[in-house]
Structure 1
Amino acid sequence: MGNQMTEMLKGTLEGIVLTVLTARSAYGYEITAQLRERGFSDLVEGTVYALLVRVEQKGLVDVEKVPSEKGPPRKVYSLNAQGRRQRDEFWGTWNALSERIERLHSDVDLTHDKGE
């Protein structure tokens, strides 16, 4: 993933992960796997785990420790009411911003760019 894509993803990953948790509760590896299946193939698992710590601290998810066959209990994350509000705010902001960006892109004729 290019540096620009990585930087853009950093700013949107929280909303993306909250959206993944809309469908069902999941633990970190499952979330990473779902995102990779959806085209975020270069996403590093550690990035998702760090984000999950932050959303837990912000109170956007509920966490349940579930026994694991392979080692310590897994933390399973569930979207709570505050997380749903944050997710909805993210998508409202995303839609407004993407409309503005698309409008700018369509208004500016890039085929006549005289820069080097």
Structure 2
Amino acid sequence: MNDKSQLMRGTIEGCILQIINIKTTYGYEIVEKLQQYGFKEIREGTIYPLLLRLEKKNLINSEFRPSPLGPSRKYYSLTKEGILTLEEFHKNWTEISKSVNTILSMGGINNGK
């Protein structure tokens, strides 16, 4: 399992929900926040399909708002279901990361010996 994207795939949606939870925002700003917090490989082409999927699952709402720099932007906010899903993600992530960190702190890598 050398593919970092496999690990990220299950976590990006929860991170997007948290970013939107903090502030109603638009796609490019979500990309910037993810990159700012360490998801350097994330691009707009990755985020927009995820936003569409979250919208279809009724976890987020969207609305167009005027932009000071050009055409209107599509802003995203959480639905009640989105808030519940974010709470569940947070709980699950806390449990999983605690378990993984415990196991990884048991010692160094011994090359299978």
TM-score by length of 2: 0.87
1:17-52, CA deviations, whole angstroms, 9 ceiling, x for partnerless residues?
000011110110111111112222221111111100
Letter of the aligned partner of 1:53 in structure 2? L
Counterparts of 1:50 and 1:110 in 2: how far apart (Å)? 38
Matches within 5 A, 1:56-71: 56-68=55-67, 69-71=69-71
Which amino acid counterpart does residue 11 of structure 2 have in structure 1? T
Could you tell me which residue of structure 2 aligns to residue 110 of structure 1?
108
CA distance in 2, matches of 1:114, 1:14: 33
After superposition, the CA RMSD in angstroms is 1.8
> CA–CA distance in 1 between the matches of 2:84 and 2:28?
24
- With normalisation by structure 1, the TM-score equals 0.84
Q: Distance in 2 between matches of 1:13 and 1:25?
A: 17
User: Structure 1 pair 76/92, CA: closer, same or farther in 2 (3 Å)?
Assistant: same
Deviation per residue, 1:75-97 (Å, 9 max, x gap)? 11001211111011001111111
Q: Which runs of 4+ in 1 moved over 6 A?
A: none
Q: Which runs of 5+ in 1 are unaligned?
A: none
Distance of 2:44 and 2:13 partners within structure 1: 14
> 1:40 aligns to what?
39
Return the structure number with greater helix share: 1
Q: Tell me, which stretches of 5 or more residues in structure 2 are unaligned?
A: none
Structure 1 residues 89-114: Cα deviation after superposition (integer angstroms, max 9, x where no partner): 0011111111111122223x325x25
Equivalences for residues 70-85 of structure 1 within 5 A: 70-71=70-71, 73-85=72-84
